[in-house]
Structure 1
Amino acid sequence: MLFKPTILPWALALGTAQVASAPTNKVPPRYSGEAQKLADPRYGPIPGQSDLYSYYWGTDRPFPGNISDPVFPTQDGPPGVDDLIWQNLLSAEWLIFEFYQQGIEAFTARDFVAAGMPNTTYRRLMEIRNNEAGHLRIFQNQISPTSIKPGRCKYSFPFTEPLGYLALMTVLEISSMAFLTGLVQQPRLNFNKGAMLAIAEVETRHEAWALVDIWKANPFGGPSDTIFPYADEILDSTNAFIVPGSCPPENPEFPHARQRLPALSAGQDTVSLTPGSNITLHFPDPRNQPFFNESVQYYAVFYHGISSISVPIETLFWPRQAICVTIPSKFETKGVIIALVADRRGAPTKESVIAGPAVILEQPSRLATSVLHGKAG
């Protein structure tokens, strides 16, 4: 059932809610202070102990997605060793949760059936939304009481009909999987590494459902999912969905520290994005274009599975002449390929990355080119 701050139907099962005793003078006056109750991990339905995060079938935002303000520190002292990573992850989770919530509000079960989808599609999306609400609460609870827990921004997603929504959902989920393979390398505490791996396994189930039921594709991605070392670069690309100026001003920079790299995609003339295909590199944001030093050799670096392959590119005549490259034919047509542009072979550090990353779906491969051309698949 839905949690609302003033009505506590779950209290019969959990007992009286415990409210964190945050000093009111630490909460800016523009906020009601309601979110401060979330500082206590015992407050509200607990992930893994409540059916809310699996079996809520309403359209209103489930707890804690219905409380949008940031949660301010309740203790003085240094931040937890992994707080910054959890803050990045919570900010990203707000975006993913909101994507599912907006889809549930925008469409009905009949809309998906009319678009040719199984009659279970809408309920499955609700269940994923519920899982994402549980992720919100898990991430809030992992941030120490000496650090702020970021609040919700406003988000704008480019979908207008059910198939376009499901196509974007597939891109976001498979991007999340690749992002988490890099993120799990960052925590200093082993428990936090394990917790992030547990979340990644759930995201894999979400993606496998979409591949099987929606796209009628083989869900097996080969012997290894793709490892991408610079998780925050994938996070940064999601800023395109955030309405400028809509985040609580107290939220930490997202992601921290943000590189603001030029976006990267294949050109509109792309016919295929499978291994062995020839593509042109496109930098879609006219306000953020890469700079190429004529004395430097640059590379398109492609990641797939546990491997990466660097392909030298000619940048001397760009932008008068497009930059062309071939996706390595050695890669299997499975899972996802991630591409970026670097000034060193193999992109050995995040500072060597000068544009990207771009996430290239291989399953189903037709969806990758459809999304590129603004179609649903």
Structure 2
Amino acid sequence: MAVKSPLLAWAVTLLCAHVRAAPASLVPPHYSGEAQRLADPTYGPIPGQSDLYNYYWGTDRPFPGNISDPIFPTQKGPPGVDDWVWQNLLSAEWLIFEFYQQGIEAFTPQDFVKAGMPNTTYRRLMEIRNNEAGHLRIFQNQISPTSIKPGRCQYRFPFTEPVGYMALMTVLEISSMAFLTGLVQLPKLDFNKGAMLAIAEVETRHEVWALLDIWKADPFGGPSDTIFPFAGEILDSTNAFIVPGSCPHENPEFPHNRQRLPALSAGKDTVSLTPGSRISLHFDDPRNQPYFNKRIQYYAVFFHATASISVPVNTRHWPREEIWVTIPRNFETKGVIVACVADRQGAPTKESVIAGPAVILEQPATLATALLRGKSG
């Protein structure tokens, strides 16, 4: 790939200045080793110390997004106590980075202006892409030298025009916020909890920009963002964007201890997804449908802010009859609601969840129903 930016040219020169290779016994014989330079955390532009992650305006993938292979361990020994959490996060970050990169490649600044968006939209997306490249490098560096650092897969996103792209961006960013409130509960080390909180704050800024400038919506999500405790279940839903068989075979399972739950959404005839709306539950993948034991009472569990509300559902005649439920009226029409189906009130453990989760936008609420019907504006 030609280096089209002077900033990138400088970065490549710096990268070649020092390399720490993995011991030969830890690297497969067939491996080319380009990515192995990244095992050294001081190699390349450092997030927080380089303007690459803020002010690079090229269309080529910025470092380290231009190096797609996994990074093999440089030391033998047990994995770091939080390595699996950072591996999950790095695998998810590859997907988010690629989403922004594909948008930058697919559209021009004029495409967004013609769609009625501000003339700064394309440059803001580039800045977010740069932030996500910085996240890649941060996550790589947080995984210990005794564990593999996942590489990039191939991704396919369902957008064809700018409005649809920005709609999907809104869903991904707000889902990231709900996901991170669960993920931050998993690390054992306090520093890692703080580092993940710092990333969540950046993702919130991205979402606030989209709500204000793109959707002209109130960016305030109420006094608390939504806490969903099972981060891996939200991550698992992003596997729908990964081209099957495209991930490096050395990558660890994504997410760790994957549950492969049936996907959940509201029926496409849904008129509204605001609190108090009555909706039917739809399980999107015909190859992965839930099993309901007739002797068990099941619940639709709705998480919003710091609370959850469980609503009993009648599953006895499913799939002959649809399962209907009313979104709790108690919730404010702010932020996001995360819903799942569980075999226990409150979904107290991840094992109690049998389908979902579904992320329901409340801001802008009209976008949530438009997306459900396969529309974007």
TM class, shorter-chain normalised?
A: over 0.9
- Structure 2 CA distance for aligned equivalents of residues 24 and 114 of structure 1: 54
Shift of 1:32: 1.4
Q: Does 1:199 align with 2:202?
A: no
- Structure 2 CA distance for aligned equivalents of residues 109 and 219 of structure 1: 24
- Structure 2 CA distance for aligned equivalents of residues 315 and 148 of structure 1: 43
Shift of 1:314: 0.1
Whichever residue aligns with residue 285 of structure 1, its letter is D
Match of 1:143 in 2: 143
Following TM superposition, the consecutive aligned residue runs of length 4 or more in structure 1 with deviations greater than 6 angstroms are none
- Structure 2 CA distance for aligned equivalents of residues 193 and 17 of structure 1: 33
Match of 2:39 in 1: 39
Match of 1:53 in 2: 53
C-alpha change, 1:3 and 1:352, in structure 2 (3 Å) is: farther
Whichever residue aligns with residue 9 of structure 1, its letter is W
Match of 1:177 in 2: 177
Match of 2:312 in 1: 312
Gaps of 5+ in 1: none
Deviations 1:283-323, CA, capped at 9 Å, x for gaps: 01000000000000000000000000000000000000000
CA contact (8 A) 1:17 1:44 kept: no
Percent identity, aligned pairs only?
Answer: 81
- Structure 2 CA distance for aligned equivalents of residues 35 and 147 of structure 1: 14
Q: Does 1:92 align with 2:80?
A: no
- Structure 2 CA distance for aligned equivalents of residues 155 and 182 of structure 1: 24
What TM-score do the two structures reach when normalised by structure 1? 0.97
Gaps of 5+ in 2: none
What TM-score do the two structures reach when normalised by structure 2? 0.97
SS at match of 2:235: helix
Q: Does 1:341 align with 2:341?
A: yes
Shift of 1:117: 0.6
CA contact (8 A) 1:3 1:63 kept: no
RMSD: 1.6
CA contact (8 A) 1:68 1:152 kept: yes
CA contact (8 A) 1:3 1:9 kept: no
Match of 1:259 in 2: 259
Task: Write out aligned runs for 1:77-116 (5 A).
Answer: 77-116=77-116
Match of 1:9 in 2: 10
Shift of 1:26: 2.6
- Structure 2 CA distance for aligned equivalents of residues 264 and 15 of structure 1: 45
- Structure 1 CA distance for aligned equivalents of residues 52 and 145 of structure 2: 25
Match of 1:76 in 2: 76
- Structure 1 CA distance for aligned equivalents of residues 351 and 260 of structure 2: 12
- Structure 1 CA distance for aligned equivalents of residues 177 and 320 of structure 2: 36
Task: Write out aligned runs for 1:289-308 (5 A).
Answer: 289-308=289-308
Q: Does 1:62 align with 2:54?
A: no
SS at match of 1:163: helix
SS at match of 2:10: coil
Match of 1:188 in 2: 188
CA contact (8 A) 1:301 1:345 kept: yes
Match of 1:329 in 2: 329
Shift of 1:31: 2.7
SS at match of 1:324: strand
Match of 2:231 in 1: 231
CA contact (8 A) 1:24 1:33 kept: no
Match of 2:370 in 1: 370
Shift of 1:23: 2.0
Equivalent pairs, count: 374
- Structure 2 CA distance for aligned equivalents of residues 36 and 15 of structure 1: 12
Whichever residue aligns with residue 144 of structure 1, its letter is S
C-alpha change, 1:23 and 1:42, in structure 2 (3 Å) is: same
